[in-house]
Amino acid sequence: MNNKFRKEIEQLFSLNIIDEQYFPWGESYFLELEPSESKNNSKSRRSVSIVTVYPDVEQKIHTHPGYDEIIYGLEGETIHWSNSHKIILGKGRLGYIPAGGQHIMANISGKPARFMSIVYPTIPDSLGEISAIEDVELPELAKMTNLDAIASKFTQNIKLAVSLVDTAGNLLTEPKNFPVFCKLCLTEQLGDCVLYSEGRIHAGKDLRVCSCKFGVYSVQSPIIFNERLLGYLGCGYGRVSMVTPRDEILIKKCFPAKKYYLAQKEYHNLEFINRNHLKSVAEILSLISASLVQLIIQSTREKQISMYKLSLTREKQIQAELENRLNEAKLRFLESQVNPHFLFNTLNTIAQTSLMEGATTAASLTYALANLLRSSLGKTDPLITIREELNYIQDYLLIQKTRFPSRFTVEMDIKVEVLEIKIPIMTIMVLVENSIIHGFSNIRWPGSLQINAYSEQHMAVIEVIDNGSGVPPQVIENVKSLKGIGLKNIYKRLEFYYGDKFTFDIKRLDNKGTKVTIKLPCNM
């Protein structure tokens, strides 16, 4: 960025530019907010930037995990798509991209366009304190909560490396997902980030975006219990700018001759990352990990104290305590219909199973939950195959069958010819959840759930049938008039991707139960 344009921005907004990012599609200049804000205030993590979009370019579809974005046009015109909503952002016009939204941006003019971006995190600040854990260290917690497995699954989906390091410098997650450049840096002990002693000394206790001496960016989220620092959860490890001659010189100076060319090549291969994306993903992963730690520590303490004295009254008391703590957490799932109440029930199931049965079942449930979190937090493609959707449903059913082993049975009849057909993510999942949560909640007979998928006259037919209490007539009317939330969400997304080439039918069966039928073209 030239000095003239820098001065124009700083004079216009009376704020200093504290950071710059350069992408193939454009540039971002981050402004320094007023220093009087409290570091502990979530507003202090908000971000304001001036974005320049090059002529005739498009930023590919990406998810906003854990942050809302308000955009205000300054110069030229950009086109934004937020889920199914189109925003034409000209000078003086406002737009809004919600947390979890699927965002595409393009500049189809022959001139650069500029707009202001204001980002607000939507992740709660903390979980509150946990009593009597002064003797617990991070390696112990990592084993208890299987954080390495969760971090690995999270990494696979969002395509950002995740690290977990304690205050002694022990890396508690496998570095297999790290960029090759960072692995070389670790091997040669050349860095100055939080993975090294010097970096940890200056890291402190605040969530922050940081850059190593090679210009590799990451977010470091401290893991703190009762004001005691146990370690850091890191996320990112990518470039935010084009490679400069200074970078080339520094790499050649630092790396031994036999590894210089490999280091140079892998430095060029580092992914471009956005710091707003980094901060929100790190906070989500930190919050989820802390929630699991909280539950398992509570379960372990109670098991030691009351192994042979648990009664129904005490179990209800523990459940109430867990519910209160999880209500404070207010975990928000992105692009998913799995709500905080379902998350509480799921995590509560994990705690109860750990308490009563041991680690094997708890591990299976934790993996199932991690898969569901992965599907809701990091999916960049809003369409998935029916085969993938069924995998998530199997994880969800594993959790629900553990909670309610005798409440309902499930049968699936899925034909091979429809497995690779793509549908909006969580389409069938929401229907299955409705049957279990609403259809089977107050019945006195065994529940039965049938999931069918087959082809008929060049159409893929998906059916979800239950023998529950039956959908109320007003719900059917709400769907027809596009009111309500969950079913309306399914209808609107199908309409966005398939136009008028699909049908969505929901009806109450004559005897008891509900049948939902979706028909989609096979060749879209």
CATH number of the structural domain spanning residue 472: 3.30.565.10
d(C-alpha 282, C-alpha 304), whole Å? 33
Q: Which residues contact 316 (CB under 8 A, 6 or more apart)?
A: none
Bridge partners (DSSP) of residue 221 are 233
Instruction: Determine the average pLDDT of the residues in 477-485.
Output: 64
Domain extent, residue 307, equals 123-377
d(C-alpha 178, C-alpha 162), whole Å? 8
Same domain, 387 and 515: yes
At 341, is the pLDDT very low, low, confident or very high (cuts 50, 70, 90)? very low
Same domain, 117 and 259: no
| Cα-based angle 338, 343, 344 (whole degrees, multiple of 5) | 145
Strands 47-53 vs 113-121: parallel, antiparallel or unpaired: antiparallel
At 212, is the pLDDT very low, low, confident or very high (cuts 50, 70, 90)? confident
Same domain, 169 and 244: yes
DSSP letter string over 170-216? -B-S-GGGS-HHHHHHHHHT---STTSHHHHHHHTTS-EEEE-TT--
Domain boundary among 324, 357, 377: 377
In the predicted structure, residue 340 carries a pLDDT above the cut 70: no
Domain boundary among 377, 394, 419: 377
Same domain, 284 and 226: yes
In the predicted structure, residue 279 carries a pLDDT above the cut 60: yes
Instruction: Determine the average pLDDT of the residues in 402-407.
Output: 82
In whole numbers, what is the pLDDT of the chain averaged over residues?
Answer: 75
Q: First-to-last CA distance in the chain?
A: 43
Domain count, the chain: 3
Per the CB < 8 A criterion, the answer to whether 326 and 288 are in contact is no
Residue 9 is part of a domain; what is its CATH number? Answer: 2.60.120.10
Model pLDDT for residues 102-154, shown as the tens digit of each residue: 889 999 998 999 999 988 877 554 444 444 444 556 666 666 555 566 666 66
Domain boundary among 377, 403, 438: 377
Joined together, the tokens standing for residue 73 give 């046009």
Same domain, 112 and 37: yes
Same domain, 346 and 471: no
Instruction: Determine the average pLDDT of the residues in 516-521.
Output: 94
Mean pLDDT: which of 261-275, 306-320, 414-428, 475-489 is highest? 414-428
Residue 49, Cβ density class (10 Å: 0-12 exposed, 13-18 middle, ≥19 buried)? buried
Model pLDDT for residues 449-474, shown as the tens digit of each residue: 999 999 998 899 999 999 998 888 88
Same domain, 244 and 370: yes
d(C-alpha 430, C-alpha 314), whole Å? 34
Bridge partners (DSSP) of residue 222 are 232
Q: Which residues contact 4 (CB under 8 A, 6 or more apart)?
A: none
d(C-alpha 519, C-alpha 463), whole Å? 9
Per the CB < 8 A criterion, the answer to whether 205 and 136 are in contact is no
At 38, is the pLDDT very low, low, confident or very high (cuts 50, 70, 90)? very low
Same domain, 391 and 312: no
Of 312, 291, 297, 303, residue with least CA distance to 223: 291
At 72, is the pLDDT very low, low, confident or very high (cuts 50, 70, 90)? very high
In the predicted structure, residue 55 carries a pLDDT above the cut 80: yes
More confident position, 384 or 293: 384
Same domain, 137 and 181: yes
Instruction: Determine the average pLDDT of the residues in 62-71.
Output: 79
Torsion of CA 81, 82, 86, 89, to 10 degrees: -80
At 52, is the pLDDT very low, low, confident or very high (cuts 50, 70, 90)? very high
In the predicted structure, residue 99 carries a pLDDT above the cut 60: yes
Of 91, 89, 85, 43, residue with least CA distance to 67: 43
In the predicted structure, residue 63 carries a pLDDT above the cut 70: yes
Q: What pLDDT score does 339 carry? A: 46
Per the CB < 8 A criterion, the answer to whether 343 and 333 are in contact is yes
Same domain, 66 and 150: no
Bridge partners (DSSP) of residue 116 are 50, 72
Same domain, 368 and 484: no
Q: What is the pTM of this model?
A: 0.41
Per the CB < 8 A criterion, the answer to whether 172 and 139 are in contact is yes
Same domain, 339 and 458: no
Of 105, 114, 121, 90, residue with least CA distance to 13: 114
Which residue matches tokens 């098991």? 303
Model pLDDT for residues 413-440, shown as the tens digit of each residue: 999 999 999 998 889 988 998 898 888 8
